Chain A
């Protein structure tokens, strides 16, 4: 089983991503992976998945604990950092799961993720937003409407998908996402009188978007702000938090992170269920050979549209859970780079694997997104780096034997280096490991795993090439 394979080397996932490894360590690693594989081969699929996901999460947590300690954060600060990490990882995992349904299962190369998120978020703003923005309906109605809007846009976008080559389709989806972004900023949706209410997105300025976060926070205190009176449930959790030295906002942030995780679990279960349904089998057949699936009389077009629409709805959901929690959102929060981040996370995890999607989300947020920023804080705390304005000053100082000005410039611009590093990781993955950490295209489509008897005897290589039925 490939999941088991990753069970052996998930820890080195990040490091492996950019190195590829030498022959020696790789051989030992493979032996160890074989051993783990034979043990995990007997496990249920979900158990093996859970182990891989949780061990990745644990490793990223350990890394962040070390970095927080290096930064000199107290217990509250550390917990807050971890809450932020967990929340972002969950948001990315949800997005990657949805994208995996498109690219990993249906073979639809969608690079308009940001557009589908944005449509959902702004629909939420119109339906549930307050005075001057929206109609002020309950948040659940807004979130359902948001998902429906994203699904509807997905249905429109999927129509050309049936006729186009994958790379043309990619350009179409990117174009749609950009059109949506320009539209949301335009005067056309800035302000309208609808049903006697003044609604609109106010042009290019960010608008206030209602968030599920507010409602989760209201479980803890009466009006959702940390300073207000705690509710009955809130009192219990705040007391537990105090034992560990956590302040109220930290406890509440963890509450929301866990709320988002609930949705990830739900999406994972849904998508795993789909993957093993007749519907999922047709999806895999389409991905492998669309002509053959068609020849067998499968309604390939319809199936592709359904899966695309479902994935778009999930992207909308993720967008609302993530971006809306900033309270004010502008159209420019949905630049194409967001889409590419999700794609990198998918490729890190490996397309075609639901567990891999979650692992990819966690690894991306931990190692590529938040990690470098933490490292920046640690370095600038412990070393006295000078502020350097331009790279020229850094390089000239370097030539005269001073290293620090250059280091100062690099640390000051670590976000640029981080994005560059994302690009490097993407290239190296495509060159060395196009299937990602957990990705694999060979998997059993049958509901019962036909290869299990041989796996049970622990013949690792046969299992690897035959593919476990983990997704």
Chain B
């Protein structure tokens, strides 16, 4: 009897112990894992919100206050930042100050000024404070004085000057666009013709020698071309000078807040607006106009103003080229590893090496790409096919092709690992079904295994694209540049210029934020560009995800 009670007792006590132990119930693990997820989500969402908020607010037109301090200095500009700081000199320790973008760099020598809040004597929003975005020297803040047309003052009150400005500015902008078009495209074209003729001559010189009959023939041709080109060049030059002269007739005279007079050629003004007069509709219009410029125009002012179109274009093209290179190679390698290779020590070693490859710092890939692709491979191509233009390298330097291949190498492990997973997830019964029908190994792979694994392979591609599009460090070595004069894809034969260096949004962010002379002005653009890069990667991924969904519904959704 006593043994029975003691048994009962021990049973109850062990049950009680189980109740006491929190981990036995599993409740803490739910909180722990859920908490981990919550922390991760908070950080990601916080980062995205920060980028999103700063990114979309950058281009919004701000009011332009005029501030007079107790010491008598007057500032006119846009407030970019408010902050509190600690000072040791003042009786009150915690003080507030504002960072004001005052522009007018050619006059004041400064883009920004700090203004302490307690030193402000008067703050107004002058009606005719103009913000002027220029092609050079940054922004200008001032008041319209008069409008001069061909040396004659045609308007001298604020309203009439503003009216005259709006009347003539569009035409002047058009002419400026025309000049740019002539300078870059037309002159570019005739330069290319001259260069081609020179290269042809040089080719003959390399083949037949200087002064040989063939060379003489080619030389006459070259001289002819040169003559034609020079004539054409002169004509273009005249046209440009004519347009310039016409444009220089329009001058806007302004007075700064400090009372200094200055004149700005209308030609140098990208955009001007009376910031304090803008209605909400006007502000929204201006906002979208700036986005339009940002997305579709070339950058100006050392990239801190203007658009980022070449960078968007370069990023997209490079990412696509990279995917094109990495997916076939990755899939082939994974196919061999999973379908053909005999499992064993060697295969395991190869697999571990591939996984470790993903941990190599990306800059190392950049160095490898520079050494192997540019200096070894590219230089050999130059010697074989582009000997006439040496010592100027064609492929023997960084370019979009080499950058894509370097990133393809970088993202190869991702694709191989994902493809291997996808291949091993294909049920063996399907392979056997194909073999039983008399399919060979390759037929089975081609018709059954690969289609079935395709969604998984696409996942690998998506991961590779996300990784590759955001990578910057190796690109600095193999072809991304601060400013690329020409896009890697254009209307000039052979249309795809894989050897050209390119602009990249990731590199653009680095360049804006840390390499810019006027980094305070560029800082908001860093956020906008980051936002753009994220949106771009998101869109590229969305494309791939949709493709994957289509494939998956076609191949995988088994009803059984």
A binds B: no
